[in-house]
Chains A and B, each alone.
Chain A
Amino acid sequence: MSLWHIAWSYLWNRKFTTCLTILSVALSVGLISSVLSLRQELEKRFAEEGQAFDLVVGPKGSPLQLVLGSVYFLDSAIGRTPLHVYEDLLKDDGFVEAAFPIGLGDTYGGFRIVGTTQGLLDHKWEGMSGDIRTPFALAEGKTFEAPYEAVVGAVAARKLGLVIGQEFESMHGSIEISEELREFDHADRPFVVVGILETSGTPFDRAIYCDIESIWDAHGAGHGEEHSDEGAEELDWSNSVSAILVQLHSPGQRFEYEGWINENTDAMAVVPIQVISDFFQDFLDPIKGLMMGVGYLVVVISALSILIGLYLSIMQRKRDLAIMRALGASSYEIFGAVIIEAFWVTTLGIAVGWLFGNAVTYLLGLILAQEYGLVITPFGLSSEEIRAFATVALVGLVAGILPAWQAYNGDVAHDLADRQ
C-alpha cells in the first residue's frame, strides 16, 4: 500500500479521463518520436550508402542531384561526362583504388537500368558500425559477363517477377510513354536476366545492372540513336558516362582529390557523405525543427490537460484527501501522491507515445522501402529521443505541481465537513 499504489488506484478509478490524458501526452510524444526516429533512421540509411564511395564524379551541376541520381538512384542524371574522365581516373594510382562508371538513361517497369562494370558488383565497404557491407551479393545466378546480360536487384526482381533466364525490353527515360513513342523502345535488343541480388535493404535493391557497353550500344553504337536523360547534354553515348563512383586509397584523400578534380578538369567531383550531410542540415533539419516545434506545442497542451485533469480530480476528491489527512497522512505524502499521479500519466503517455511514434515510423518505413529501397529500423531509442522524453516528463511533473500544491494546502476540517 505505497503512495505509488494509492496514486495508481485513483487513476484507475477514473479510467476514462486518465486514458484521455494519457492519449494526449502520447500524441505529442508520438509526433516527436516519429520525427526523431524517422529523421535519424533516414540519415543513417543515407549515410551508410553515402560511405560506399569516396567520391562521385559527373558533369557540373547540382551536387545533390548527382549523388541522389548515381548513388541512390533517386533522381535523374544531370548529364553526361566524357569517358576519358573515367579512364584518366583509373590511371591515377596515387589516389584511386577503384572507379566504376555509371550509365543511366533506361528503365524497365519503373526500375532504373544501371550500366556499369563487373567491379561495382564486387564492391564492398566498411559500414558505419564496422560491418562489411555487400549489397551486391548474388542470391542466385551469376554476374553479367556480356552485353545485354542483366543482374537484377532483389526488390526489382520481386516486383517485376523476373527470374533467371527471363528476357525483358528496356525503355528510354523513367516515365511511361505512349504507344506512338514505343518505336523508341529497345524492343529489338532485349536484356536477359543472369543473376538476382540478395536483399540488402538499400536503394541498390531497386535497380537492374548490366555492362555499360549495353547502355552504349542501346543508345547509339550500332543503333544510330542520340538521346539523353532529362536535361542532359547531347553527347556521344559510346564515349560518355552519367557518373563515376570512385573509391580512393584512403577516405582522408577525399577532399584533396575532390578539389583537384574540380580545379583541373571539366568534371565535378563531390564527396557523397558530405552532400548528404549538407542536405540533411540545410533541408531536413528545418523541417525537423518545425515538426519538433509542433510536437513540443502539443506537449504544452498535454501538460495543460494533465494540469486540468489532475486539478479537477483534486477538487472532486478533496474529501478523500482530507480523510487521508485524518488517518494520519502528512501534507507531504498527499503532495507526493498527486505528483506520482502526474508521473504515472506522463510516463504511460511517453511509453504509449513512443510505441505509437515508432509504429508510424514503421509504416512510413514500409513506404520508403517500397518506393525508394530505404529500409529503416524503428523501435530504437536514441539519446535525442531520451532527452526529448525527459523534457516531456519534466513538463508533466511541473503540470502536477499546482494540483499537488492545492492538495497539500487543503483545509482538512472544512473538507471533511463538506458533505457533498
Chain B
Amino acid sequence: MVMLEQCRRRLGPGATFYCEHFHAEAGEHIALWGPSGCGKSTMLNLISGLLRLDSGRIEVDGVEIHDMSEGQLDQFRGERLGFVFQTFNLLAPFTALQNVMLAMRFSDTVPQKEWKSRATMLLERVGLDHRLHSKPNTMSVGEQQRVAIARALANKQRLIMADEPTGSLDPKNAKEIMALLLEVCTEEEVTMIMVTHDRALAERLPKQFDCVGLVTEGES
C-alpha cells in the first residue's frame, strides 16, 4: 500500500531526511514513533505529496507519487488520502456537515447529490448526529476530532494519515478517539499511518516504525 525506497529530502542547512525503506500493507495500522524533530511528520508529508523528494521513490496505493505534477498530487490527495491532525484543522466558517462535504467538493469520488447524505451518515457514525449544523467553535475538542475523522473518510479514502491525533485531547477523550479511529479504519478496511511521540499510544497499534535517526545533521 505504501512503500518508500531510499528517500532523501534536504530540510534546511545541515539537516537531511533519509529513509532507506518503509513498507505498509493495505489495511495495516502502523505507528510512526519517535521524539519531536526525528522526521516522522516529514515522512507523513512525503507520503502525502505535501513535500517533494530530492531523490528516491514513493509508491502509494500502486501509484508512484514522486513524479506526479502538482495537479495530479492535488487529485491524489483528494481521492485517496484522509488526514487527521492534532489540532483538528476544521474550517471555522463551516458547520460540521459542511466541513465533511468540503472534502468531497475537492474530489470527484462522491457524486454531488450524495454529498449531504454521505456526510450525514459519517457524522452519525462518529456519534455526532446531534451536531451536524454546529460550527467548530461551538464544539468540544473531542467532537471536533470526531468531525475530522468523518472528514478523513469522506471520499472513501484508502489511507488515513493521522498526525498526533490525540495530542490535544484529555486522557478520556484521547482514549475514545483512538478507539474510534481504529474501529472505523478496521470497519472500512482503511490503512492508517499514525504519527506520535507517545510510545504507549504507538503500542496500541499492531505495528510500529521507529523514526529515530531519519533526520541527520550535516550532509549525508
Interface residues of A (CB under 8 A from B): 1, 6, 9-10, 12-13, 319-320, 323-331, 333, 412-413, 416-417, 419
Q: Encode contact with A along B43-76: 1 for CB under 8 Å, 0 otherwise.
A: 0010010110000000000000000001100110
Specify the chain B residue showing the minimal Cβ separation from A14.
B93
Give the size of the chain B interface in residues (CB under 8 angstroms). Answer: 33
B106 A329 Cβ-Cβ under 8 A: yes
Of A320, A324, A329, A331, which one neighbours B92 at CB under 8 angstroms? A320
A330 B74 Cβ-Cβ under 8 A: yes
Can you name 25 A-B residue pairings with CB atoms under 8 Å? Answer: A1-B102, A6-B102, A9-B98, A320-B92, A323-B89, A324-B91, A324-B102, A326-B50, A326-B83, A326-B89, A327-B78, A327-B102, A327-B103, A328-B75, A329-B78, A329-B106, A330-B74, A330-B75, A331-B74, A413-B45, A413-B50, A416-B45, A416-B85, A416-B89, A417-B41
Which of chain A's residues have a CB closer than 8 A to the CB of B151? 327
Complex alpha-carbon distance, A326 and B75, angstroms: 10
Q: Encode contact with A along B89-122: 1 for CB under 8 Å, 0 otherwise.
A: 1011110001001111111000000010000000
Complex alpha-carbon distance, A326 and B106, angstroms: 10
Specify the chain A residue showing the minimal Cβ separation from B119.
A1
Which of chain A's residues have a CB closer than 8 A to the CB of B77? 325-328
Interface residues of B (CB under 8 A from A): 41, 45, 48, 50-51, 70-71, 74-75, 77-79, 81, 83, 85-87, 89, 91-94, 98, 101-107, 115, 151, 155
Query: DSSP majority for the A interface?
Result: helix
**Besides the known contacts A326-B89, A331-B70, 19 further A-B residue pairs in the complex with CB atoms under 8 A apart:** A1-B104, A6-B102, A9-B93, A319-B89, A320-B91, A320-B92, A326-B77, A327-B107, A328-B74, A328-B106, A328-B107, A328-B155, A330-B106, A333-B106, A413-B50, A413-B51, A416-B45, A417-B41, A419-B87
Complex alpha-carbon distance, A13 and B78, angstroms: 25
Complex alpha-carbon distance, A333 and B102, angstroms: 13
Complex alpha-carbon distance, A328 and B98, angstroms: 15
Q: Taking the nearest CB of chain A, how far is it from the CB of B51, in angstroms?
A: 5
Specify the chain B residue showing the minimal Cβ separation from A3.
B105
Specify the chain A residue showing the minimal Cβ separation from B90.
A323
Complex alpha-carbon distance, A302 and B83, angstroms: 39
Specify the chain A residue showing the minimal Cβ separation from B70.
A331
Which of chain A's residues have a CB closer than 8 A to the CB of B87? 419
Which of chain A's residues have a CB closer than 8 A to the CB of B107? 327-328
A326 B41 Cβ-Cβ under 8 A: no
Most buried by B among A323, A326, A413: A326
Q: Taking the nearest CB of chain B, how far is it from the CB of A19, in angstroms?
A: 16
Complex alpha-carbon distance, A120 and B17, angstroms: 97
B74 A1 Cβ-Cβ under 8 A: no
Of A13, A319, A330, which one neighbours B93 at CB under 8 angstroms? A13
Complex alpha-carbon distance, A64 and B12, angstroms: 78
Which of chain B's residues have a CB closer than 8 A to the CB of A325? 50, 74, 77
Complex alpha-carbon distance, A419 and B88, angstroms: 11
Which of chain A's residues have a CB closer than 8 A to the CB of B101? 1
Which of chain A's residues have a CB closer than 8 A to the CB of B115? 1
Q: Taking the nearest CB of chain A, how far is it from the CB of B37, in angstroms?
A: 12
Specify the chain A residue showing the minimal Cβ separation from B42.
A413
A10 B106 Cβ-Cβ under 8 A: no
Which of chain B's residues have a CB closer than 8 A to the CB of A417? 41
Specify the chain A residue showing the minimal Cβ separation from B79.
A328
Once A1-B98, A330-B74, A331-B74 are accepted as A-B contacts, the answer to whether A324 and B89 lie under 8 Å apart by CB is no
Complex alpha-carbon distance, A127 and B174, angstroms: 81
Which of chain B's residues have a CB closer than 8 A to the CB of A319? 89
Q: Taking the nearest CB of chain B, how far is it from the CB of A323, in angstroms?
A: 5
Q: Please provide the 6 A-B residue pairs with the shortest distance between their CB atoms, ordered closest to farther.
A: A328-B78, A328-B106, A13-B93, A9-B93, A413-B50, A330-B74
Complex alpha-carbon distance, A324 and B99, angstroms: 10
Once A1-B101, A413-B45, A416-B85 are accepted as A-B contacts, the answer to whether A329 and B94 lie under 8 Å apart by CB is no
Specify the chain A residue showing the minimal Cβ separation from B89.
A323
Complex alpha-carbon distance, A412 and B106, angstroms: 16
Complex alpha-carbon distance, A200 and B169, angstroms: 76
Which of chain B's residues have a CB closer than 8 A to the CB of A12? 93
Most buried by B among A1, A6, A328: A328
Complex alpha-carbon distance, A328 and B73, angstroms: 8
Complex alpha-carbon distance, A69 and B86, angstroms: 81
Q: Taking the nearest CB of chain A, how far is it from the CB of B92, in angstroms?
A: 6
Specify the chain B residue showing the minimal Cβ separation from A12.
B93
Of A1, A412, A413, which one neighbours B105 at CB under 8 angstroms? A1
Which of chain A's residues have a CB closer than 8 A to the CB of B78? 327-329
Specify the chain B residue showing the minimal Cβ separation from A333.
B106
A323 B105 Cβ-Cβ under 8 A: no
Specify the chain A residue showing the minimal Cβ separation from B80.
A328
A9 B94 Cβ-Cβ under 8 A: yes
Complex alpha-carbon distance, A329 and B107, angstroms: 8
Q: Taking the nearest CB of chain B, how far is it from the CB of A2, in angstroms?
A: 8
Q: Taking the nearest CB of chain A, how far is it from the CB of B46, in angstroms?
A: 9
A324 B93 Cβ-Cβ under 8 A: no
Q: Taking the nearest CB of chain B, how far is it from the CB of A11, in angstroms?
A: 9
Most buried by A among B50, B51, B83, B98: B50
